[in-house]
Amino acid sequence: MMHAGEVPGPHELLEWIPDPVVVTDSGGTIVYANRQVEGLTGYARRELVGRPIEVLVPAGLRTNSHARNRRGIARLMSALDDDFRLKRKDGTVVPVEVSLGPAGANTIAVMRDFSERHRMEAELEHRALHDPLTELANRTLFFDRLRQGIQNARRDRTQVALVMLDVDGFKGINDRRGHAAGDTVLKAIGARLRHRMRATDTAARIGGDEFAWILPRVNSRAGVRRMVKNRLAVAEAPLLVSGRTILIRVSAGVAMYPEDGRDADELMRHADVAMYADKRAVR
């Protein structure tokens, strides 16, 4: 307890800082931690004091033992600049912002938990790149993945398949059953398109009742057509909406890189032509 007229010591001042603070000596040993550190790290203060700073650092970011000096510690604590990852006592890793400052021979690190900000940023990024109705990739992400797939195929001398899909008679579903039923159909098709897809594939809703698949590293057109046939069998299963059955039919067209086109626009044109040929054949 302080008495009137006494000047608080440096560590007592750090207790008033609302953010977690640790102080390390020149060898990287923690010599002080304020109360706020406990909530962030899961460690009691007494568990941290006397231990190396590496206890708070994920293994992949740790420096070699010979770098345990002030320069090494600063590099360690700001391993990802202002996007540092801190390891909690339970082993989980949280994103924090770290501000470093000298205190004589010691180093002060002030940390701020950025978990919520990262979550919000990830959510905003997801919304910007995904269709809000089906949760599939949107047109922006679709074209980015398609161009990336073509670049990878060109480099690796492999093939990429683009499959364009269109729901037959979708306007009639909206007109007869209402837009809510139409949305239900689109959401169901989106969920079905994701069914049994490879991790490297991309399913997208690119507008209205139009969908697309990108299938990298495929071997042949015949193999792609078998994959499309199998997946359409799932996508076209009858759907029960408000007690009434809706029959679904999806037209599909396939284009292959490099046989049908050497860029995204050319592949899109060929896949569209094939899709409308399929639609005309059914009619």
Q: Which residues are catalytic?
A: 209
Q: Where are the alpha helices (DSSP H) in 85-211?
A: 115-129, 139-156, 170-177, 179-194
Q: 3-class DSSP state for residue 165? A: strand
Bridge partners (DSSP) of residue 101 are 108
Q: Is 226 exposed, middle or buried (0-12, 13-18, 19+ CB in 10 A)?
A: exposed
In terms of phi and psi (left: phi > 0; alpha: psi -120 to 50; beta: otherwise), the region of 111 is beta
Beta-bridged to residue 245, according to DSSP, are 240
What is the rounded distance in angstroms from the CA atom of residue 225 to the CA atom of residue 232? 10
Please name the helix (run of DSSP H) or strand (run of DSSP E) that holds residue 226, with its range, or none.
helix 221-235
Q: In what order do the strands lie in the sheet with 202-207?
A: 202-207, 210-218, 159-167, 250-257
Q: Quick check: 254 and 225 in contact, CB under 8 A?
A: yes
Cα distances from 216 to residues 197, 202, 219, 255, in angstroms, run: 12, 9, 9, 12
